[in-house]
Amino acid sequence: MKNLYYVSIEGVIGVGKTSLAHLLEERLNAKLVMEKFDENPFLADFYLDPERYAFQTQLFFLLSRYRQQQELRQTDVFHKLVISDYMFVKDRLFASLNLDDKEMSLYDSVAKILEKNILNPDLVIYLQAETPKLMERITLRGRDFEKNMSPDYIDALNQVYNEYFFRYQESPLLIINTNDIDFVHNEEDLEEVIRYIRQPVSGTKFFNPASNL
Q: In sequence order, what are the beta bridge partners of 124?
A: 8, 173
Rounded to 5 degrees, φ, ψ at 161 are -65, -45
Quote the distance between the C-alpha of residue 122 and its chain's center. 15
- Whether the pTM exceeds 0.75: the reply is yes
pLDDT digits (tens, 9 = 90+) for 126-184: 999 999 999 999 988 877 777 778 899 999 999 999 999 999 999 999 999 999 999 98
Distance of alpha carbon 110 from alpha carbon 191, whole angstroms: 41
Q: Which residues contact 120 (CB under 8 A, 6 or more apart)?
A: 6, 170, 171
Q: Which residues contact 115 (CB under 8 A, 6 or more apart)?
A: 88
Domain ranges of the chain: 6-207
**SS3 category, 124:** strand
Q: Which residues contact 156 (CB under 8 A, 6 or more apart)?
A: 97
Residues in the chain: 213
pLDDT of residue 93: 93
pLDDT of residue 136: 92
Q: pLDDT tier at 98 (50, 70, 90 boundaries)?
A: very high
Distance of alpha carbon 34 from alpha carbon 68, whole angstroms: 9
| Among 21, 16, 26, residue whose Cα is nearest residue 133 | 16
pLDDT of residue 79: 66
Class of domain 6-207: alpha beta
| Among 209, 102, 119, residue whose Cα is nearest residue 170 | 119
**SS3 category, 93:** helix
Residue, of 212 and 38, whose pLDDT is higher: 38
Q: In sequence order, what are the beta bridge partners of 31?
A: 82
